[in-house]
Each structure stands twice: as C-alpha cells, then as structure tokens.
A and B are shown apart, each in its own frame.
Chain A
Amino acid sequence: MNSSRLFSGSFSLRELHPATIVTVVFLIAYPSFASNFFILQIGAYSLILGTIALSLMMLAGYGGMVSLAQLTVAGLAAYLMAILGDNSMGVMGLGWPWWLTVIVSVLGAALFSTFIGAVSVRTEGIYTIMITLAVAVAFFYFVRQNYVLFNGFTGFAGVEPPTLFGVYWRDPVPFYYLTLTVAAGFFFAVYYCARSTFGLGLQAIRDNPRRMRALGFNITLHRIVAYFFAGVIAGFAGVLLVWFNGRVSPGTIGVDVAIDILVIAVVGGMRHPIGPFIGAIAFVLLENFAIDLIDRERFNMVIGTAFLLVVLFSPDGLLGLWNRFRDRFRFRGNALLGAERVNKDDPASTGSLEKS
C-alpha cells in the first residue's frame, strides 16, 4: 500500500491492496446484513475499544511508553459528558449544549493525558507502567468516593447523544457509522502521522533517545506532546463510550478494564495502527461468545490464556502472526527474505525501527 501517494493527491484506486478494498466495503456494508446486536454490541463496541487501544498503541508502539491510564483518560471524557451535559441522576448535569460538552470533554481528557505524560515520561519501562497504573487506581477510587462531582459509586446514567439532522444518533445504524467515522479518522491520522516529522521523531526517540537529544530534539517535550495526542484519541473514544453505554460509573474505568485495553493492544499487535482494532474485535467476540461455552468466572482465564499464547508465540500480536503467515507463502524459497522481516513497503509499520 503506497500511502505517500494516498495523501499527496496523486493516488489511484488501482494502488490499493485488494484486502484494503474488501475491508472498507465490508465495514461500510456491515449494517445492511448484520443484526442490531451485531451492529452495536459487536461492531460499534469493537470500534470504541479499538480506538482506546489505538491511543495506547500510538504511545507504546511508536513511543515505547506503555501507559495503563488510557482508559482512565477516556473515562474522564465520559464523566465530563455527564457532568457538563445532561444526565438523569440529578447530580451535576450542567446542561451545556452537546457540541460544547464534547469539545470541553475531549480537551479535558487530552490535558489529563498530558499531565500523566508529564509525570511519567522521565521514567522507563516497568516504572512507566507503575506510575500510569497508580494514576488509574487513584482516579478510580477518587470518583468512587466523590459524590459531589462524580456521584460516587453509582456514577451517572441517562447520557445520550443529540438528535441531529432528524437522526437519533444512538439508533444502531447511525451510531455504528458515527463510531466507524471516528475510528477510521483516527486510524488514518495515526497511520499518516507515523511518517510525519513528529511521528518519525517519536519512533527515533524510542530507539535512541540520546542521539535524538544530540540532534537538537527536546525528547521530554516530544513525549509529552505524544501523550496529548493520545489523550485526544482516548477522549473521543470516551465520548462514544458514554453514548454507547448511556452511563458511566467507577466500574467503567476499573483496573480490570484498563488491563483489558492493554490485552487488546498487545494481542492485536502494536506495530501498526490496525492492530488495536483486530485485537478489539477478537476480544469482543470472545467476550460475547466464550460465555456460551464456559461460565462467566472462567472468562478471564480464557482471555489470560489467549494473551499468554500470543505473547509467547507472536510478540507482535495477531498482526505479526498474519504477516509471518503471508510472508511464508509469498516469499517461499527466497532465502533473502526471512519471515521475520518487517514490511518495508508499509510506512506505518513501526517494525521498520529496530528495538534497541
């Protein structure tokens, strides 16, 4: 897929990979053959979780910063929607117009993410995980105990998208297209920006921070800005999440769910922005249908085992598994092109940078 052409204008349909066309057509036509359950609970929900995981993939895959607080950031946006807009709980609900509520909620989430970045970017590896986990846990207990602003344990219900252009946006089909638009928008934004100066710089900082400083880059600021952008993505996903559920409570942003997001990103693959969405679909399908085979308590065991298998056998997630499978068939017999080789044609592949 030659995306440099895609964005410079001289792009023709013939250059698109057939699989890309099939995927796009499938995603657009999906509501015409799927049931409401599949449109909403599987389709829209996967896209929302995928978008939150995308914000993590951007930080972890390109920036080498594994943040467990991306769900918390989305959760803050969800809470702000209920606090600044309308809810049915009689607590807060300032009744701001929907567009202002959305803008302020997303900005609030982005600033929160920036703050998390500011306190965590000087740390590395396991310490980043610990600090962001601490933020997630602290925020969880804070909203659970704060009744004035966050309505404590109960949280908020009755948060709804507006009726606009005569369409009620919580209806399955419009809501599906809304989430698809947001998810696809951020997918392409991340895909494109991976090769921008900012994106290249972020990946170079991940691989060789010392050299980047010696080239004139402020690596701390660069990383914090990455957290800001990740916050915008997670913030929008949080808005969709609260519209999807109609409610938000401490349970929405629990640590167990935060870890689900990490599982989704790792299982899907962190080397390409499509990974989080593949992971989200796999997760949502498992979550909905593994229950039929085993009981609820064992579900986490299934997820845990799946996670373990992927990490053990394909460190780049399902995406890596697929790449290896494809390469084996395409380049069979060609000794020069090992299966491990990264996809050089694909500029968004973070694999083009070596892990240092």
Chain B
Amino acid sequence: MPGTDALSRLQNTGQYALELEAVSRHFGALVALADVNMSVKAGERRAVLGSNGAGKTTLFNAITGDFPTTTGRVRLFGEDVTDLPTQERIRRGLRRTYQISLLFNGLSVLDNTFLACRGVTRGRFSLRRPKRDDSSMELAQSLLEAVHLDDVKDKLVSELSYGQQRQLEIALALSGAPRLILFDEPAAGLSPTERTLLVNILQSLPTHIGFIIIEHDMDVALRVSDRVTMMHNGRIFKEGTPEEIENDDEVQELYLGHGGGHD
C-alpha cells in the first residue's frame, strides 16, 4: 500500500537517524554481519559492544558505504541510501572515525581538518588557495580548538603523538553539520586524562547530534550512551538501556574478562 508507505516514511523523517533492515555482509564464506536490524533515533547516543570480530566495524562500513552490503537496506534520516556512494551519505550529515587512524600523515593538522570541512561544503574543486579567513579554514580552526589541538595545528600528522592523532580523528568527524557520527573505538590506547577529555567532548556535543560509539571500555561506553547494543558473531543479541545491560547476567558473563572497568 503506497499510502501507508509514504506515511511511514514521513513519520520516519526526523525521527530516525538510522534504520538498518536485514543488513548482511559476507566475506567469502564468513558471515561478518547476519541480518542485522537496528534503528537509532535522531539525537540518540548508542553504544555498540561486542567481542573482537563480532562485526562492529563491519556494521559501520555498511552504514557509511565503505564496503557495500551483501543484502539489506540502509536508511539515513528517513532516506534509503543503500545505493548511494559514501560521499553522498557524508554530505547528508553522516560522519565517522576509524578504528585505525586513517589520516593524511604528510599534511599538516590544519590541512587535514580543512579538507574535512571543505568536503561537506561547496568549492571542493576550487583552484584558489584557501585564505586564513576562508569559512572552512575558520571552521577547521575552531574544531582544532575544541579538541585541544590548536597549538599543534601546523605540525605534520606524522609528528603527532598517538593520542593527538586519535583526537584529530574526532575533529575530522565533527566537521560541518553532523547529524549522526560513528565513533570506532575512539578511546582505545588513550591515557586516563585523554579519556576524560574524550568523554567531555562527547558529552558536550549539541543534543541534536546523535552518535554510535563502539567501545570496549564499559566505563566510557555506559557513561556517554542512552542505549546499548550488544553484538556477537555478526548478530545483535541484546539491546537496552545501560542499566539493563549492566545488570544482565549473559552480558556479565561475556564481559567477565573486561568487566573490572565499570563502576
């Protein structure tokens, strides 16, 4: 029935930032994602937990289009983007960070951030050198201040410490007007101070910006999220509020190895 279809799409607009419908991803015989259904409301903060190889990063790649899905549909902000290339999804307000930093190592920190800001605006083909007062350049400056990298902005990325590179990853994902950001283990390898800084950044994001965070550190994950999704072997096996998840016996068992971290 087309009528109800249009109606439901209308209701979805603005309500759901992300809807996955039976999304699968196979690597040869390996099923990295198996029929995943998931919806994330606009502005919602979602944590995705799961052991190594559970398919969390693959889930992100399916959402951004870094790798195409084998089957299933991906809807972003009410629009079916399954057949859209990555950059089109990004321009619609999706952002992501990478588990293993994917930065332009030979470019300066400022140039990295500038490219991120320019990528979601007009003038990507401009043949003029950006001036200091270029709007993307100014935005890049303020992003670097937000992640406390402004004093190293002229350094090459390869000269940054590991923690600083992780912070730059986050700056790139905050460019323009993000509506849904995917953070892939942003806290991995950070010092306790850097972790606090990260949690502060995440908590101070404007409320209309939703995010999904993959995080092994339960302490970070449960502190910044409204809801939690548990993954295992390419499937979602539990979803709930942080309290429900924390008190779940099955989860306790699975996370016994990592468990000491939370509270």
**A residues near B, CB below 8 A?**
4, 7-8, 192-193, 195-201, 203-204, 207-208, 210-219, 222, 225, 342, 344, 351-354, 356
Contact = CB atoms under 8 A, between A and B. Distances in A.
Given A195-B129, A197-B124, A213 B87 contact: yes
B158 to A, nearest CB: 7
Given A354-B105, A354-B106, A354-B158, A214 B86 contact: yes
B102 A208 contact: yes
B228 interface: no
Nearest to A219: B87
Contacts of B27: none
Contacts of A196: 126-130
Q: Mostly helix, strand, loop or mixed at chain A's interface? A: helix
Contacts of A208: 102-104
Nearest to A204: B104
Contact of B115 (A4, A193, A204, A210): A204
Nearest to A349: B106
B33 interface: no
Contact of A197 (B98, B116, B118, B156): B118
B9 to A, nearest CB: 25
B213 interface: no
Given A4-B129, A216-B90, A222 B66 contact: no
A193 B128 CA distance: 7
Contacts of B64: 214
5 contacts: A196-B126, A196-B128, A198-B126, A215-B116, A216-B119
B175 interface: yes
Interface in B82-141: 85-87, 90-91, 96, 98, 102-107, 111, 114-116, 118-120, 123-131
A197 B102 contact: no
Contacts of A8: 131
A214 B129 contact: no
B172 interface: yes
A353 B66 contact: no
B125 A222 contact: yes
Interface in B149-198: 156, 158, 172, 175-176
